[in-house]
A = this chain, B = another copy of it.
Amino acid sequence: MSNGGGGAGASSSTHLLDLLEEPIPGVGTYDDFHTIDWVREKCKDRERHRKINSKKKESAWEFTKSLYDAWSGWLVVTLTGLASGHTALHSLSVYHSVQFMEQDSTLRVFSTGRSGQWFNFLTCPANIFTGPGPGSYIMNYFMFTFWALSFAFLAVSLVKVFAPYACGSGIPEIKTILSGFIIRGYLGKWTLMIKTITLVLAVASGLSLGKEGPLVHVACCCGNIFSYLFPKYSKNEAKKREVLSAASAAGVSVAFGAPIGGVLFSLEEVSYYFPLKTLWRSFFAALVAAFVLRSINPFGNSRLVLFYVEYHTPWYLFELFPFILLGVFGGLWGAFFIRANIAWCRRRKSTRFGKYPVLEVITVAAITAIVAFPNPYTRQNTSELIKELFTDCGPLESSQLCQYRSQMNGSKAYSEGSDAAAAPGVYSAMWQLSLALVFKIIMTIFTFGLKVPSGLFIPSMAIGAIAGRIVGIAVEQLAYYHHDWFLFREWCEVGADCITPGLYAMVGAAACLGGVTRMTVSLVVIVFELTGGLEYIVPLMAAVMTSKWVGDAFGREGIYEAHIRLNGYPFLDAKEEFTHTTLAREVMRPRRNNPPLAVLTQDDMTLAELQNIISQTSCNGFPVIVSKESQRLVGFALRRDITIYCPYIAHDILKISIWKMSVLCKHAKNALVNVSTSFCLSFYRRLLGIITKKDILRHMAQMANQDPESIMFN
């Protein structure tokens, strides 16, 4: 005690290096691009909880604090839900004003005296070539391209200058973060602001992308920012991830108006650690977010539903065959898209070409605008295209897709024994749709991965919806002209319309989205919350399962996992099963003939020894053992914590107090499959070696004949 050392609470002969308490700022946090220690975070939280519980009977203040602590989980998800809802609304209203500006300026420039002409242009494609004369058409074409390029340029510049993390869909990174990785600033306020703005610009530029994935990223930013208000969450990376899981549910909830789909998306697709408590919180966050959307009523019809459909006829058993075919198409498209997109992104990463993101975005936007304009189905907004494709042909429908003979004859009684033979309008629509399909397929491959916010949900759904509508019309015409076939005879009366092409579009959209993302349950729930088509669960399920099976046959990774691997994030998929029979000993470090593992001993280490180990190795952490003789493991100390502590230590002999850690013992001969499923450090009573997540990922890459050095981070 007489010693004037700087360490607080140092005893006379030894210094307690207490890694459990955090008296020094910075201890217990992690470096950027490092993986968190789940066991340690959970122990810290349990310790904190116990402390609050034991204190709460001491005073009214402590009791209030404990109440605040208990309710802070609900508070933070409420705030996150509110913020996500408002951000989505904000981006929606910005989008509308941008669109208005675009239309308005075009009108002023080329005013022909009729107001709303541009609008007529967009909604009534038949007038395009015959309408306001060829000169005006060309000028409109020019303005369309001009606006697309301006918006794209603005979006990519903002992203490049202010928030490089705002690009892409963000879902691969969120998956990685939820699995325990640290990416500083990825969920920060700059990313939030810039992504909200540039998202709108990117959509308005007409690129083949959607706003749904980025909205999930935006919601996670809200969750992350609000978690800083509550020490329970801001100081504990594991607890913070519970908030982020709930936030991603809120994100899907506002993106699609699908709260339950959001919860399932969070569970199935993005989350890593999802206890039932998080299920309830996610549910609540999604509820609040949906409520904000509902109370402000963006779609103008008091429904949460984006593409509300109502079909007149049920579906029949024989239709399962085309639905399953659409599932096969979705699976094939998904597998093809993943390969092509990853190949293109890899080229962008590895060649000089990736150095010019602005040029690339502008080129893609220009090609998109130039090719898109002549075809009415590619010119219009993708969400509206999907809505049109989903909609059933009723007597009031004026779309080209609904030009059947019955309507040509002026008969309004479409639904009662109509003449379902296709008129020329349908055939020209089919032709245009086929071109739109090819265009969307090609452009989406080059668009996803650009340095602007870009979601995949809407383009994938559009591709599926186009393919589905084409198949649907084909089946419909087949049933009309061959109504005496066995299949049709049994179900379709002559003259009655028994096939709903809109339903095929819906099934196709689900199948393509399933093929790309490999979601199942959450996808079906999202699609039926999206469309309100509750009776069509069975067709949806059949198509989505087929799509997943077909896609999995070509490679088990979805697009998000593929991008995670491309970026080299240390992500260990809990869903994937590792089938090799490698022994832990083969992966474990130190390998044979390597120098021994750097370890700390609990009671008898000098400061000099500690600093020596720190300076001579580059490991991120060190196992702590009782003594060199017994080699009994007591815990694991991070380099970062030790480095922060060292200046405060004055004494020679250290006593390292480590968080109580439940070490999973693994026999060194155990197959790697164990290690990989329940990931842990590998010890067998006596410390033999260590296996990190990176070791396993490297080994898995080696087994798959990939470059093990593609795993970049620790």
- Where the two chains meet, the residues of A that have a C-beta atom closer than 8 Å to any C-beta of B are 46, 50, 53, 259-260, 263-264, 268, 276-277, 279-280, 283-284, 287, 290-291, 294-295, 302-305, 314, 317, 520-521, 524-525, 528-529, 532, 534-535, 537-538, 541-542, 545, 548, 574-575, 579, 581, 632, 660, 662-667, 670-671, 673-674, 678, 685
Contact = CB atoms under 8 A, between A and B. Distances in A.
B287 A542 contact: yes
A667 B633 CA distance: 12
A175 to B, nearest CB: 14
B304 A53 contact: no
A662 B666 contact: yes
A46 B673 contact: yes
Which 7 A-B residue pairings sit nearest by Cβ, starting from the closest? A302-B314, A287-B541, A685-B685, A276-B575, A283-B521, A532-B534, A303-B535
19 contacts: A46-B671, A263-B521, A280-B520, A280-B545, A283-B521, A283-B545, A284-B541, A287-B541, A287-B542, A302-B535, A303-B534, A304-B535, A304-B538, A305-B534, A529-B534, A532-B534, A662-B678, A664-B665, A665-B665
B287 A279 contact: no
A152 to B, nearest CB: 36
A665 B667 contact: no
Contacts of A666: 662
A532 B529 CA distance: 10
Contacts of A529: 534, 537
A11 to B, nearest CB: 22
A545 to B, nearest CB: 6
Nearest to A43: B674
A263 B663 CA distance: 34
Nearest to A282: B521
A284 B538 contact: no
A521 B662 contact: no
A664 B667 contact: no
B295 A317 contact: yes
A578 to B, nearest CB: 11
Given A305-B535, A541-B259, A662 B660 contact: no
B290 A538 contact: yes
Contacts of A685: 632, 685
B283 A279 contact: no
Total copies of this chain within the assembly: 2
A276, A542, A574, A674 — most chain B CB neighbours (10 Å)? A276
A347 B291 CA distance: 46
Nearest to A541: B287
A522 to B, nearest CB: 10
A218 to B, nearest CB: 21
A553 to B, nearest CB: 13
Contact of A538 (B287, B521, B581, B663): B287
A260 B665 contact: no
Contacts of A279: 268, 520-521
A283 B670 contact: no
A372 B286 CA distance: 42
A46 B685 CA distance: 24
Given A279-B520, A283-B520, A287-B538, 5 more contacts: A46-B673, A283-B524, A284-B545, A304-B537, A305-B534
A662 B662 contact: no
B525 A287 contact: no
A320 to B, nearest CB: 9
Contacts of A663: 665
A256 to B, nearest CB: 12
A264 B303 CA distance: 24
Contacts of A46: 671, 673-674
Contacts of A667: 660, 662
A268 B276 contact: yes
Nearest to A284: B545
Contact of A665 (B283, B295, B662): B662
A541, A660, A666 — most chain B CB neighbours (10 Å)? A541
A277, A287, A524, A632 — most chain B CB neighbours (10 Å)? A287
A622 to B, nearest CB: 20
B660 A260 contact: no
Contacts of A283: 520-521, 524, 541, 545
A273 to B, nearest CB: 13
A352 B211 CA distance: 67
Contact of A579 (B53, B290, B520): B53
Contacts of A302: 314, 535
Given A279-B521, A295-B317, A537 B662 contact: no
Contact of A291 (B50, B291, B295, B538): B538
A660 B667 CA distance: 9
A670 B665 contact: no
Nearest to A574: B276
Contacts of A674: 46, 662
A148 B571 CA distance: 62
B670 A660 contact: yes
A662 B574 CA distance: 19
Contacts of A534: 303-305, 528-529, 532, 534
A581 B575 CA distance: 34
A538 B263 contact: no
Given A520-B283, A662-B670, A259 B537 contact: yes
A448 B525 CA distance: 33
A464 B532 CA distance: 25
Contacts of A294: 538
A575 B276 CA distance: 7
Contacts of A537: 259-260, 287, 290, 304, 529
Nearest to A317: B295
Nearest to A279: B521
Given A294-B538, A632-B685, A678-B662, A287 B575 contact: no
A534 B317 CA distance: 25
